[in-house]
Amino acid sequence: IAGITQAPTSQILAAGRRMTLRCTQDMRHNAMYWYRQDLGLGLRLIHYSNTAGTTGKGEVPDGYSVSRANTDDFPLTLASAVPSQTSVYFCASSPGSSYNEQFFGPGTRLTVL
Amino acid sequence: AQSVTQLGSHVSVSEGALVLLRCNYSSSVPPYLFWYVQYPNQGLQLLLKYTSAATLVKGINGFEAEFKKSETSFHLTKPSAHMSDAAEYFCAVSSGGSYIPTFGRGTSLIVHP
């Protein structure tokens, strides 16, 4: 059982380039989330989805987009990367109730130059 | 509305000493509370959670936390620190049917030999 997988593990990207971070879960969880983690700022929610076909904006959505075509996949796209998007990105999933914990992927370390 | 405050961005203890990581929450309805641990270069994983059953919750690796409604606290403790406990610890709260938790900014636990 893999849980949540993320790809790539790390990436160095030139500013202005388009990039898609991939996230797949095999737990059939309804809810999925994207966070970015920056030193001193903790985890900040970028986008979320409570079921296939629906998405919502989190705390820091600007410059990012997501889609949820099916239950398992939740890709995060940076349309035109900027250096301030240098961060570690975590995908997470949850069955979708407030008493359920989240399950996190291993993260993608992204550097935008 | 819900919020979490973790007191102390860094906590330093000696191996064998008591670990105490503080978490205070704010919620207008009964909360669900979580502690997660993040080891270097990994995603977050659940340590323990409070879901309105016993107020003293035991988790993995010898950690436990006590829900104190009167103090709006959910502090994490471990009687004797091990070197392997060195990690980042996050407290989170969810409530009111929301499947989007609010995370604290994290506390880095440093364990000295």
pLDDT, tens digit, 9 for 90 and up, residues A6-50? 999 999 999 999 999 999 999 999 999 999 999 888 999 999 999
Q: Is A84 helix (H, G, I), strand (E, B) or coil?
A: helix
Q: What is the pLDDT of residues A44-76, one digit of tens each?
A: 999 999 999 999 999 999 999 999 999 999 999
Positions of E strands within chain A: 4-7, 10-13, 19-25, 31-38, 42-51, 54-57, 64-66, 76-78, 87-94, 103-104, 108-112
From A43, A45, A99, residue closest to B51, measured CB to CB? A99
Q: Is B32 in contact with A50 (Cβ distance < 8 A)?
A: no
Q: Is A101 in contact with B49 (Cβ distance < 8 A)?
A: yes
| Residue A104 touches partner B, C-beta closer than 8 Å | yes
